[in-house]
C-alpha cells in the first residue's frame, strides 16, 4: 500500500509517539488499529470521512507546514503502473 508522503510522515510521527510511550509497534499495526477501531459503519459515514480527507491541508497533518491542500495529484494510483503507448 502506498500513501501520500504527508500521510506517511504522519504515520511515522504516530509510531514515534507510540515508541515514546513504551509501545512496541509498527506503522502497519498502527494503521490496522486505526482502521479497525474507527471505521465508519455506513456508506454515508464513509463518504464524510473521504470528503474530509480529500480536503485536508498539510498543516492539519503537520502543524509546522504551510496550509496547502494535499490534493489528488500527490496521491499514487493503486495497482500496477500503467504501460506507455
- Domains of the chain: which residue ranges? 5-73
The residues that bridge with 57 in the sheet, in sequence order, are 69
pLDDT of residue 57: 82
pTM equals: 0.64
Name the one residue in this structure whose C-alpha cell is 506517511.
Answer: 8
Q: What is the pLDDT of residues 26-75, one digit of tens each?
A: 999 999 999 999 888 899 999 998 998 898 887 777 655 544 544 444 44
Positive or negative, the CA dihedral 7, 13, 19, 22 is negative
Q: Look at residue 65 and give its three-state secondary structure.
A: coil
Alpha-carbon span 3 to 77, nearest angstrom: 10
Amino acid at each position: 500500500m502506498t500513501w501520500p508522503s504527508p500521510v506517511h510522515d504522519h504515520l511515522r510521527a504516530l509510531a514515534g509517539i507510540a515508541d515514546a510511550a513504551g509501545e512496541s509497534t509498527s506503522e502497519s499495526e498502527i494503521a490496522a488499529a486505526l482502521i479497525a477501531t474507527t471505521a465508519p459503519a455506513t456508506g454515508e459515514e464513509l463518504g464524510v470521512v473521504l470528503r474530509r480527507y480529500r480536503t485536508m491541508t498539510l498543516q492539519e497533518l503537520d502543524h509546522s507546514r504551510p496550509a496547502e491542500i494535499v490534493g489528488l495529484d500527490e496521491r499514487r494510483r493503486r495497482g500496477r503502473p500503467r504501460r506507455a503507448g
